[in-house]
């Protein structure tokens, strides 16, 4: 199907996760596009590696913005926003790679040999095709890079000339019209090229041969850089280089041995870097004997329930060597330490002796958990040796009650284990996507470490969303793993009075909106609150829909994310994302108001602009491609496919409120 034949629909913003999914799903096609557009003068081996490199670095570094009010996308759309963005980046870099190098100008990254991927000792090239593929490759080599890109878009992507011109202009091609003209001029030449055929063949014996209109040849193995043949490189030169590398390694080992002779060495502090200061206060903070240990009898009589009253648990709390390594790596992580931190979390050393929460052997690792009043710090090392140590930081300031109910101990093979608070009386697992299913019991050992649970934060698809349901003397708590040390609390209700999302209505709404939690994974989220702010009767007797606002709050206070979602009448259908905003007060205790709009297609085929606001909205108005106004908090206006409009509302106190964006 040509993208020209589709009903146009607005392209929304592109997240890094969305672009990554499109890249992984259509990786062979993207590499084929890059291979065809790259200049043949690079040689087939370098073209293959360069094509893979261009595709692998086509991901955006941050979210790419889109239209203010995105329209609803249909499942049959041929080009999704993630794929369109990645394809554009691949074409942009491939066109740059074809530019000539200038003497006094710095080369651009795409013009240099790729750093990754690299293949040593082998030369890779696609499988050889027949005479038609060879002739087509020779004809394409006579085209400029923009013309090759135009041919690939028209032949391989099945796009019309208007869409080809738009894509070429968006990726920085200098003169897209000239590219199409060059393509048309070559197609008008006699069969076999300007001389009547391929070099070395008489004109009356060559036959017709492939033309540039034979776009189906682009799908052949001749142009497939993912199905490759391998041959050895220059064996004599490799032997010479190997001798030189061996001499260099020996010299490096000798220098390293000489530099490592003085001092205390590496054994005592494991993977920590060498000490760089002799400050008495800093040394006291790194002394295992001065680590704070809370007795088990403290928390039942404590006024507050937070990390400060957690007792030290685990069978290795008396392992002084392990604690010394953990504190030393915390203060001076070496280059081999894998370190991570949630956004806004300082990663410096402790300011004083921290509190020990846990030290024990979990799965195949020794794990130590510290708390210093502001952060939870997790140190982990393999059971055998200290190579490959890991260090993780997470904000935990003002964590109390449900916020201090559990900490992630390990992640392995897609599973996660938690260390629960001492006041937790029961633990179970509930799948958010199955609200009617009862939760199943989750086992815990004597130290409070749970059994392994499949984590949704590590899953590639949203097939299930396991949450941790904890019970204490105050009731049930629902916590979700978002890829951090502290699971996020899941809430339901109005911004001024949220409750834990354990009720029937809350589970039904979360079952349709849970998959949107992937947009806040790894963002330092403290809690996620969902709120049904409007119900709307749909046109053409399509039923009654629901509007839900989801707000993710972070530990650092800033960086909150708000999502407005549309839930169609079909209770099995997932929610559709209507709009989103970053660092917006909407749906929060400071601004418990929200307004959202979306383009919706009725079952009968008609298109409508839908809008809904909170209870204090007096009227809703839409302008742009559609002009309409409705009294009350909801609006439904007849529209065309792909229309764009701006939604606003008037509050009961007379103030104006724009839509969430």
Instruction: Tell me what pLDDT residue 233 has.
Output: 66
What count of Cα atoms within 13 Å lies in the side-chain half-sphere of residue 534? Answer: 30
| Higher pLDDT among residues 525 and 1, named by residue | 525
Average pLDDT of the residues of the chain: 83
| Higher pLDDT among residues 225 and 268, named by residue | 225
Q: What band does 236 get if pLDDT is binned at 50, 70 and 90?
A: low
Q: Tens of pLDDT along 125-138?
A: 687 777 777 877 78
**Rounded average pLDDT over 200-217:** 47
For the entire predicted model, the pTM comes to 0.60
Instruction: Tell me what pLDDT residue 367 has.
Output: 96
- Is the predicted pLDDT of residue 37 greater than 80, yes or no? yes
- Is the predicted pLDDT of residue 205 greater than 60, yes or no? no
- 65: closest CA among 87, 42, 81? 81
CA distance 340 to 391: 6
What count of Cα atoms within 13 Å lies in the side-chain half-sphere of residue 479? Answer: 29
| Higher pLDDT among residues 343 and 137, named by residue | 343
Instruction: Tell me what pLDDT residue 206 has.
Output: 36
Q: What band does 425 get if pLDDT is binned at 50, 70 and 90?
A: very high
Q: Are 349 and 374 in contact (CB under 8 A)?
A: no
Q: Tens of pLDDT along 462-516?
A: 889 999 999 998 889 999 999 999 999 999 999 999 999 999 999 999 999 999 9
Instruction: Tell me what pLDDT residue 5 has.
Output: 34
- Is the predicted pLDDT of residue 328 greater than 60, yes or no? yes
Q: Are 542 and 523 in contact (CB under 8 A)?
A: no
CA distance 514 to 642: 27
CA distance 98 to 37: 8
| Higher pLDDT among residues 10 and 287, named by residue | 287
Q: H/E element holding 243?
A: helix 235-259
**Rounded average pLDDT over 157-175:** 85
CA distance 593 to 649: 11
**Rounded average pLDDT over 401-421:** 94
Q: Tens of pLDDT along 187-204?
A: 666 544 443 333 333 333
Give the three-state DSSP class for 582.
Answer: strand
Please state, for a pLDDT cut of 70, what percent of the chain lies above it.
Answer: 83
CA distance 72 to 425: 45
Q: Are 333 and 341 in contact (CB under 8 A)?
A: no
Q: How far is CA 589 from CA 25, 507, 659, in A?
A: 41, 22, 18
Q: What band does 435 get if pLDDT is binned at 50, 70 and 90?
A: very high
- Is the predicted pLDDT of residue 578 greater than 90, yes or no? yes
Please state, for a pLDDT cut of 90, what percent of the chain lies above it.
Answer: 46
**Rounded average pLDDT over 390-396:** 94
Q: Tens of pLDDT along 601-657?
A: 999 999 999 999 998 999 999 999 899 999 999 999 999 998 999 999 999 999 999
- Is the predicted pLDDT of residue 559 greater than 60, yes or no? yes
Q: Tens of pLDDT along 60-98?
A: 876 666 544 444 443 433 467 888 888 988 998 888 887
139, burial (CB in 10 Å: exposed 0-12, middle 13-18, buried 19+): buried
Of 238-247, 444-453, 531-540, the one with minimum mean pLDDT is 238-247
Q: What band does 151 get if pLDDT is binned at 50, 70 and 90?
A: confident
- Is the predicted pLDDT of residue 243 greater than 60, yes or no? yes
Q: Per-residue DSSP letters for 508-577?
A: HHHHHHGGGGGGGTTS-EEEEEEEEEEEEEPGGG--EEEEEEEEEEETTSS--EEEEEEE-S-TTSPPEE
CA distance 415 to 456: 9
Q: Are 156 and 217 in contact (CB under 8 A)?
A: no
Q: What band does 273 get if pLDDT is binned at 50, 70 and 90?
A: low
Q: How many residues does the chain have?
A: 661
- Is the predicted pLDDT of residue 247 greater than 90, yes or no? no
């Amino acid at each position: 199907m040509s993208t020209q034949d589709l009903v146009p629909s607005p392209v929304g913003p592109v997240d890094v996760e969305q672009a990554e999914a499109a890249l992984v799903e259509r990786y062979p096609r993207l590499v084929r596009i890059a291979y065809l557009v790259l200049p043949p003068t690079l040689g087939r081996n370098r073209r293959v590696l360069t094509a893979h490199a261009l595709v692998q670095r086509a991901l955006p570094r941050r979210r790419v913005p889109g239209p203010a009010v995105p329209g609803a996308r249909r499942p049959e759309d041929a080009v999704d926003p993630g794929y369109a963005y990645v394809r554009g980046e691949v074409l942009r870099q491939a066109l740059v790679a074809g530019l000539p190098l200038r003497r006094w100008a710095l080369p651009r990254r795409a013009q240099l040999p790729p750093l990754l991927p690299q293949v040593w000792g082998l030369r890779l090239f696609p499988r050889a095709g027949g005479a038609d593929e060879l002739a087509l490759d020779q004809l394409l080599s006579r085209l400029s890079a923009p013309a090759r890109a135009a041919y690939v878009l028209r032949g391989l992507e099945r796009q019309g000339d208007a869409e080809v011109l738009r894509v070429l202009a968006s990726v920085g091609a200098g003169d897209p019209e000239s590219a199409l003209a060059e393509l048309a001029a070559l197609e008008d030449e006699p069969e076999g090229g300007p001389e009547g055929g391929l070099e070395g063949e008489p004109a009356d014996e060559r036959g017709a041969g492939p033309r540039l209109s034979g776009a189906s040849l682009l799908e052949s193995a001749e142009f497939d850089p993912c199905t490759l043949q391998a041959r050895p490189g220059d064996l004599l030169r490799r032997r010479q280089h190997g001798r030189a590398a061996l001499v260099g390694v020996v010299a490096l080992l000798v220098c390293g041995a000489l530099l490592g002779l003085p001092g205390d060495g590496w054994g005592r502090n494991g993977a920590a870097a060498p000490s760089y200061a002799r400050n008495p206060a800093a040394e006291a903070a790194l002394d295992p004997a001065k680590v704070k240990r809370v007795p088990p009898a403290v928390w039942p009589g404590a006024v507050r329930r937070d990390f400060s009253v957690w007792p030290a648990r685990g069978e290795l709390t008396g392992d002084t060597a392990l604690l010394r390594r953990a504190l030393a790596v915390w203060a001076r992580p070496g280059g081999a330490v894998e370190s991570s931190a949630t956004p806004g979390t300082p990663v410096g050393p402790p300011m004083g002796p921290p509190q020990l929460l846990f030290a024990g052997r979990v799965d195949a690792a020794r794990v130590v958990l510290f708390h210093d009043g502001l952060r939870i710090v997790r140190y982990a090392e393999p059971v055998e040796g200290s190579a490959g140590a890991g260090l993780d930081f997470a904000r935990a300031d003002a964590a109390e009650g449900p916020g201090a109910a559990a900490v992630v101990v390990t992640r392995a093979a897609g599973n996660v284990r938690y260390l629960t608070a001492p006041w937790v009386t029961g633990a179970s697992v509930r799948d958010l996507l199955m609200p009617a299913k009862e939760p199943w019991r989750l086992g815990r050992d004597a130290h409070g470490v749970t059994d392994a649970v499949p984590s949704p934060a590590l899953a590639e698809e949203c097939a299930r969303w396991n949450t941790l349901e904890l019970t204490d003397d105050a009731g049930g708590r629902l916590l979700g793993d978002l890829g951090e040390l502290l699971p996020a609390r899941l809430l339901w209700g109005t911004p001024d009075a949220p409750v834990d999302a354990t009720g029937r209505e809350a589970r039904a709404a979360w079952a349709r909106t849970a998959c949107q939690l992937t947009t806040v994974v790894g963002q330092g989220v403290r809690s996620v609150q969902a709120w049904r702010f409007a119900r709307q009767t749909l046109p053409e007797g399509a039923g009654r829909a629901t509007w839900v606002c989801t707000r993710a709050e972070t530990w650092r206070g800033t960086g909150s994310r708000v999502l407005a979602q549309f839930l169609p009448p079909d209770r099995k259908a997932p929610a559709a994302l209507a709009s989103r905003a970053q660092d917006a007060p909407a749906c929060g205790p400071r601004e418990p108001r929200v307004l959202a709009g979306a383009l919706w297609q009725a079952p009968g085929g008609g298109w409508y602009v839908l809008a809904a606001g909170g209870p204090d909205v007096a009227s809703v108005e839409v302008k742009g491609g559609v002009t309409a106004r409705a009294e009350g908090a909801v609006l439904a206006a007849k529209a065309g496919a792909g229309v764009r409009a701006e939604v606003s509302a008037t509050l009961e106190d007379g103030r104006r409120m724009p839509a969430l964006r």
